[in-house]
Amino acid sequence: MKSDIVMHGTTILGFHRKGKTAICGDGQVSLGDTIIKANATKIRKIYNDKVIVGFAGATADAFSLSEKFEEKLKATKGNLRKSAVELAKEWRADKYLRRLEAMLVAADASGILMISGVGDVLEPEDGFVAIGSGGSYALAAARALARNTKLSEAEIVKQALIIASEICVYTNDKFILEEL
pLDDT digits (tens, 9 = 90+) for 68-125: 889 999 999 999 999 999 988 887 776 665 566 678 899 999 999 998 877 789 999 9
10 in catalytic set: yes
pLDDT for 5 equals 41
Amino acid at 148: N
50 touches 108 (CB < 8 A): yes
10 touches 25 (CB < 8 A): yes
Q: Which CATH architecture has domain 7-179?
A: 4-Layer Sandwich (3.60)
Q: Using one digit for the tens of pLDDT, what is the confidence trace for 12-45?
A: 999 999 999 999 999 888 877 888 888 888 899 9
Largest Cα separation within the chain, whole Å, is 52
Specify the pairing of strand 111-116 against strand 34-37: unpaired
- pLDDT band of 3, cuts 50, 70, 90: very low
Which of 10, 11, 21, 171 is the catalytic position? 10
DSSP state of 65: H
DSSP state of 127: S
